[in-house]
Amino acid sequence: MAQPQMRKPIESGIPENTKFLHPLLAKNYGNWKYHDRPRPGVLHHVAHGGDEVWTVRAGTQRQMDVYTIRKLCDIADQYAEGRVRFTIRSNIEFMVSTAAKVDPLIAKLEAEGFPVGGTGNSVTMISHTQGWLHCDIPGTDASGVVKSLMDELYDEFRREEMPNRVHLSTSCCEINCGGQADIAIIIQHTKPPKINHDQVANVCERPSVVARCPVAAIRPALVNGKPSLEVDEAKCICCGACFPPCPPMQINDPENSKLAIWVGGKNSNARGKPTFMKMVAAGLPNNPNRWPEVAAVVKKILNVYKEDGRPWERLSDWVERIGWPRFFEKCDLPFTKYLIDDWRGARVNLNASTHIRF
Amino acid sequence: MAKQLHPTPMLDALESGPWPSFVTGLKRLAADKDIAVDLLGQLETSYMTRKGYWKGGTVGVFGYGGGVIPRFTELKGADEQPIFKDAAEFHTIRIMPPAGMHYDTDTLRKFADIWERHGSGLIAFHGQSGDIMFQGCTTEAVQPAWDEINEMGFDMGGAGPAVRTAMSCVGAARCEQSCYDEAKVHRAVTNAFTDDLHRPSLPYKFKFKFSGCPNDCMNSIQRADMAVIGTWRDNIRTDEALVRAYFAKHGMTDLVNDVVARCPSKAIQVKEADKVKTGATISSVKVNDTHALEIENRDCVRCMQCINVITGGLAPGKDKGATILVGGKRTLKIGDLMGTVVVPFIKLDTDEGVESLVELTQSMIDFFAENALEHERTGEMIERIGLVNYLEGLGLEIDPAMVSAPRTNPYVRMDGWDEEVAKINAKKSA
């Protein structure tokens, strides 16, 4: 039988974006003068030539069914001007050319269940991963964690009442696909992988699994007469790096895979240099369907920051001012020995000074 | 009409609350599609057992080596048959969006129609990779869905050890802080590497991200092997009307606390208007009739704080371009790595400038392909071989802007010191 004729891909790369731009964005491309925010969720940009464009930003569930997509398209066609864009945090933006179109658009979006906000000093949408819905190595879910938390942070999304913008992320394993954030929620494994020795030889390329381990805790071994791998459990740091290349080394554990909270990641160069986030809480249960223990810690940190942060202080700037001892005290979080870094380069995180706040 | 829903009490609870619910969306799909019914069944099981049930595999399209994320269920009964058979295959197709993630509704509706016909009807705008993710279809449906999407003018994203889908900010399209044409550069660089993007053959992934200014809205410094971050070399521009408008609204307290005191290099001062210095590197602007801001631009590190506070009143200069940083990534294996400077400034406002960046990127990828170990990212490779070896391999000039401080230890072979000094002096006098 003849092979069916296969279509060769058109290797076009990314398309030119000009035809997708709102006409005013295309017209004033590279020629914007300033912007302000007439209200939370709305950006107002003014071009050097005098053109103005209003952007209304709304939250979405990111994982969208086609009916939701069509609903957003209907809103864009009826209340905006047929163009939308998405932010890096899966908010949708509608651009309109007159101020008069802003309020009806907001009313329609909110009536259809899309909260308007996420601009300026708000808590914006959580950047997140795939979780149980689609990932092959998840320790927890992503969309459900985000839905639960955003339900609780709904008002903060729709207001601009924080000292500065707040970016959140969630990640369902320590690879941290959700990324750096002011507050990040990340799975933290606490036990070495459980190995299914019957499968290792068939499924895993053993030398590359050995090489993957950051602490050289994995070695080849013969188990029950079969070639397999074994883990020096005293050395193992439970990072899970062996699990993707070798699924029989199961790292996810319904009881012992916990959640940790990290704070102070900032990619912007504004004020201080960019910073990595730091672990401040761990051992929280992976507790679907609403992860209440995690939400309680996140909300506590947010509330203290909101109360105590000064204008323009990102979470990292605020902690830099008040110091870590007071951060842990104010947020009612235990500073345990596990929060003292001992990984490569850890000495830069030790206090090599007498700068101590009493 | 699809088959009957499985009971999903855990997920049902995620339909309440004010935030848009992905569960409600999945259930709407499940009214018509068995694949969505069974996806809900498997997801509910994960919520009950706290375990994931997907495994990878090998699924692709004709002509490409990557870009499809295969998922097969591992949730099987005693008979080894999938418990949720209609979602036993649930693959994702990664598609690269236009730079800046702009769409017209016609395009989005076509995407929705294609995915309704061939897949589950679930699409993510967008994944952390920066792709549109068409989630959930059978192995058989991948090729026909891809054919239709590709015919619309969209191409597949990267996966595995390959050049990956890039991201750029809204930039010049709608932002006054834009320092280069982010979309043009994003497209030019990405489209120069479609072969490396579609046919994974590198030691590991290689990512680009493009941010138009040092606010770095794309998180490029922390996430990209090559970060292109807009900046400028000349003086901060001022607009007195907008600065006065800011001051009238905010007053001296905010000006001092939010602008002057937050300048990280103390480059900005508030002065009596008649005492402001003049000079080639000074920007100054009156805030009212008696007081003015004075910025010594040689001291300014282009952090964006004052510009963010008084947007338009203060603005990036006119001699714009970008800083190139390489090596950003998350922890595994050697700890978190920020991208660090390898090109302090590059002009990107001409086709030649963009082409020189494409050439630099080509040499970065070539060097990475030849020198990185398997599963080693660029930042880890540089940590292993040292930045100087990397720069020399790429033919990039050493610059003190690449370090936060010179070396603090004496343990180094310095046989070539005199020759290096001679080279630098020769260049200075040339």
User: In this complex, is the C-beta atom of A63 within 8 Å of any C-beta atom belonging to chain B?
Assistant: yes
Euclidean distance between CA atoms A293 and A347, whole angstroms:
32
Tokens of A337: 């020995």
The per-residue pLDDT for range B45-58, each reduced to its tens digit, is 999 999 999 999 99
CA distance A195 to chain B (A): 16
Q: What is the ipTM of this complex?
A: 0.96
Mean pLDDT of chain B: 97
- Is the confidence at residue B110, as pLDDT, over 70? yes
| Cβ–Cβ gap B96/A132 under 8 Å | no
Nearest residue of B to residue A155, measured between CA atoms: B18
Q: Which domain holds residue A242?
A: 194-250
Q: Does residue B137 surpass a pLDDT of 80?
A: yes
The kind and range of the H/E element at B321 are strand B320-326
In this complex, do B64 and A9 lie within 8 Å of one another by their Cβ atoms? yes
Return the half-sphere exposure (C-beta side, CA atoms, 13 A cut-off) of residue B270.
Answer: 21
Q: What values do phi and psi take at A196, rounded to 5?
A: -90, 95
Measured CA to CA, the distance from residue A31 to residue B237 in angstroms comes to: 14
**Are residues A283 and A339 located together in one domain of the fold?**
yes
Of B46, B173, B303, the CB nearest to A25: B173
HSE (CB half, 13 Å, CA atoms) of A36? Answer: 9
Residues A91 and A33 in one domain: yes
Examine residue B333 and say whether the peptide bond preceding it is cis (omega within 30 degrees of 0): yes
- Residue A136 and residue A271 in one domain: yes
Q: In what side-by-side order are the strands of the sheet with B102-104? A: A32-39, A42-47, A52-58, A92-96, A83-86, B102-104
Residues A313-353: pLDDT tens digits?
999 999 999 999 999 999 999 999 999 999 988 999 999 99
Is residue A164 located within the same domain as residue A294?
yes
Say if A116 falls within a structural domain. no
Residues 322-361 of chain B whose Cβ lies under 8 A from any Cβ of chain A: 330-336, 338
| Domain assignment present for A84 | yes
Q: Does A35 contact B311 at a Cβ distance shorter than 8 Å?
A: yes
**Best mutation site among B174, B191, B268, B330 for testing chain A: the one with the most A CBs within 10 Å?**
B174
Number of domains present in the structure of chain A? 3
How far B313 CA lies from chain A's nearest CA (Å)?
A: 8
A227 found inside a domain? yes
Is A209 a residue whose pLDDT tops 60? Answer: yes
The answer, yes or no, to whether residue B358 has pLDDT greater than 90, is yes
Q: State whether A11 and B97 contact (CB < 8 Å).
A: no
Q: CB of A37 within 8 A of CB of A119?
A: yes
Task: Let me know whether A207 and A329 are in one domain.
Answer: no
What percent of chain B lies above the pLDDT cut of 70?
100
Q: Does the pLDDT of residue A1 top 60, yes or no?
A: no
Say whether pLDDT at A88 is over 80: yes
Task: Judge: A274–B222 Cβ closer than 8 Å, yes or no.
Answer: yes
Closest residue to B100, CB basis, from A6, A17, A46: A17
| Residues A186 and A266 occupy one common structural domain | yes
- Report how far residue A252's alpha carbon sits from residue A263's, in angstroms, rounded to the nearest whole number: 24
Cβ within 8 Å of A, B 40-99: 43, 46-47, 49-56, 61-64, 69, 71, 90, 92, 96-99
| Residue whose structure tokens are 């410094």 | B221
Mean pLDDT of chain A: 96
Contact B229, B214 (CB under 8 A): yes
Cβ contact, residue pair B312, A180, below 8 Å? no
Residue of B146, B137, B143, B40 whose CA lies nearest to B90 = B137
Q: Answer whether A136 sits within 8 Å of B71, measured CB to CB.
A: yes
Is the model's pLDDT at B221 over the cut of 80?
yes
Domains of chain B (ranges plus CATH)?
Answer: 9-151 (3.30.70.2500), 167-232+322-429 (3.30.413.10), 237-315 (3.30.70.20)
> Is A75 in the same domain as A182?
no
- Cα–Cα distance between A154 and A116 in angstroms, integer? 10
pLDDT-based confidence at residue A2 (cuts at 50, 70, 90): low
